Structure 1
Amino acid sequence: MFENPVAEPSVMVACDLDRTLIYSANAMKLDAPDHDAPSMVVSEVYGGVPLSFMTRAAEGLLGDLVREAMFVPVTTRTKEQFHRVRIPGRGRGYAVTTNGAVLLHNGGPDREWGDHIRQTVEAHCAPLTEVLDHLAGAGAVEAILRVRSAEDVFVYSIVNREDLSPQYLENLTGWCHERGWSTSLQGRKLYCVPSPVTKESAVAEIRRRMPVDILVAAGDSKLDAGILELADRAIRPSHGELEQMAYKRDHLSVTSRSGILAGEEILHFALAHAGAAAKV
């Protein structure tokens, strides 16, 4: 269905960004005394304000990884939000944004993939306007503070977690499922996404195009579970939505640390598998 170019890497590392590699100040989980905090670098600036970070050690490890393997950032962020991120390897090779709806190659969108996703969603899912109206219309609940659409592909809401009842989430998940959509709650963001729009579908397409022998994947949320399932080797941090779900698989490792220090552990894991493959 799509062009099948040839490239050299035998190991592909598909890695989520937020709360996996990069962290906001509220997600760092720094429990040690301030004078023992790791040295950090800014990974994202928004409105002139530093927004996301990684440890200096993690930045060095990622620099090593992009030289050893094919590194593919995989994020729910929109293209615009992704372009704010400054990490080693960004803008080179493939990247997945908008939860899989957008496939970037050397910084530019793959139009053929975008057309494929749009046609699939139109054929199998309720329109985005119906979901927006359900969340923000007459039946809206006070716990949902703001509702936004991402590139006219999916919907995300800023919520008050304390006031968001489990019953509402259960009902919303069932309502979305009947209409070909799925849900995910990550921190203060509640996502409603068309079921065909997945990170794993985009990663599988990259793997179809490239001569990849081993796929390593990392992620922390329910929206990352698909790439973890697809991978030959996988790792998740010991925090986040998958941790709350007690998500386990035979080929899946879990970091011993949580928060920003888990990012270092994830990169050590990926580098170990990239190095092992190089010796085969």
Structure 2
Amino acid sequence: MNTHSRTAPVMVASDLDRTLIYSANSMALGGSDHLAPRLVVAEVYDAAPLSFMTRAAEELLEGIVQRSVFVPVTTRTRAQFSRVRLPGFGRGYAVTTNGAVLLHDGEPDRDWSRHIQRSLGSACAPLDDVLGHLAGPAAVPAILRVRTAEDVFAYSIVDRQALPDGYLAELDAWCAARGWTTSLQGRKLYCVPSPITKEAAAAEIRQRCGAGLLVAAGDSRLDAGILELADIAIRPAHGELDSDAYSRSNLTVTAATGILAGEEILRFVTSVLAQAAAGAPAPTTAAAY
């Protein structure tokens, strides 16, 4: 039996990069150029366009923002997220820094920030220990640069082809023993404290806004938690989770890859919202949509 209130809003929590927005290198457009979809710029960096979505995707997202509690949930820092321009930007809730920062109407939530700091102090090795492991004597040449995100977690730019066999498994084990997790997304290798998760921040927002049905989308292992938290989930047929053949009973996988998968995700979410508005029973699996 469906337990979601018909009067409760639907919450849509979605990753951004390679889920809704795409760099030129990640679009994966095929076929003749004249058949390519019309595109809009979703991000500008150093006065140049950096990320895109299809025009149809932007129009679909405008409708989703109007009909749901739409929450961008990203590993980007606040500064990186501020460059992205999506419908509804600066209003409502957003999650950045992989869940370490909860924004409301563009401002960080202080209560959530205090909660995160308490969690890190009791459960995880210091950031400096992880930086020392990545860039110190144990570093490998394939780790090209190591950076930090708001003094919360570390990410490295890597040469994937040059990574030694077994390095990722060894790093994962080393981090897990110290309360950290790892994720390789494209050329970025993330090391993140275990308490900092997208799903924890999404659950907090869901409680605050009184949402009923939760729909989620994402492509990486750092998104797996929000997909598992959701009632209805969808992922693109590319990315880290696709490489893992990640599957769940509540999960749909797009037919398309690249930027057209982003459009397909938003069409799927739009259909979920339409059925919810029509009063159709909210199913326990995405296949019913």
Q: TM-score w.r.t. structure 2 length?
A: 0.93
| Structure 2 alignment gaps of length 5 or more | 1-6, 280-289
Q: Which residue of 1 aligns with 2:232?
A: 233
State the match for 1:224 in structure 2. 223
1:189-217 deviation per Cα after TM superposition (whole angstroms, max 9, x unaligned): 00000000000000000111112110000
Residues 12-55 of structure 1 deviation map (CA, whole Å, 9 limit, x = unaligned):
00000000000001100001111111110110011111100000
1:277 Cα offset (Å): 1.1
Instruction: Tell me, yes or no, if structure 1 residue 248 matches structure 2 residue 247.
Output: yes
Identity of aligned residues (%): 66
Q: Do residues 20 (structure 1) and 19 (structure 2) align?
A: yes
Change in 2 beyond 3 A, CA 1:226/1:239: same
Residue 265 (str. 1) matches residue 259 (str. 2)? no
Asked if the contact 1:68–1:275 (Cα under 8 Å) also holds between the matched residues in 2, the reply is no
1:142-172 CA distances to partner (integer Å, 9 max, x unpaired)?
0000000000000000000101134000000
What is the DSSP-based 3-state SS (H/G/I as helix, E as strand, rest coil) of the residue aligned with 1:157? Answer: strand
Aligned residues: 273
Look up the SS of the partner of 1:133 in the other structure.
helix
Q: Given that residues 93 and 105 in structure 1 are in contact (C-alpha distance below 8 angstroms), is that contact kept between their aligned partners in structure 2?
A: yes
Contact kept, 8 Å, 1:68 with 1:271, in 2: the verdict is: no
Other-structure match for 2:129: 130
**Equivalent in the alignment of 2:104:** 105
Match of 1:37 in 2: 36
Equivalent position amino acid for 2:101 in 1: V
1:118 pairs with 2:121: no
How much is the aligned-residue C-alpha RMSD, in angstroms?
0.8
For 1:254 and 1:205, the matched residues in 2 are separated by 26
Please list the CA deviations of residues 124-146 of structure 1 after superposition, one character each: whole Å capped at 9, or x if unmatched.
Answer: 00000000010001111000000
For the residues of structure 2 that align with 1:32 and 1:89, how far apart are their CA atoms? 33
Q: Does 1:67 align with 2:61?
A: no
CA distance in structure 1 between the aligned counterparts of 2:48 and 2:157, rounded to whole angstroms = 20
Which residues of 2 match residues 148-187 of structure 1 at below 5 A?
148-187=147-186
**Deviation >2 Å, runs of 4+:** none
Q: SS where residue 145 of structure 2 aligns?
A: strand
TM-superposition CA deviations, 1:62-117 (whole Å, max 9, x none): 00111111100000000000000001122110000000000000000001001100
8 Å CA contact 1:236, 1:255 repeated in 2: yes
- Once residues 243 and 263 of structure 1 are traced to their aligned partners in structure 2, the CA distance between those partners, rounded to angstroms, is 14
Contact map agreement 1:16 1:219 (CA 8 A) in 2? yes
SS of the equivalent of 2:202 reads helix
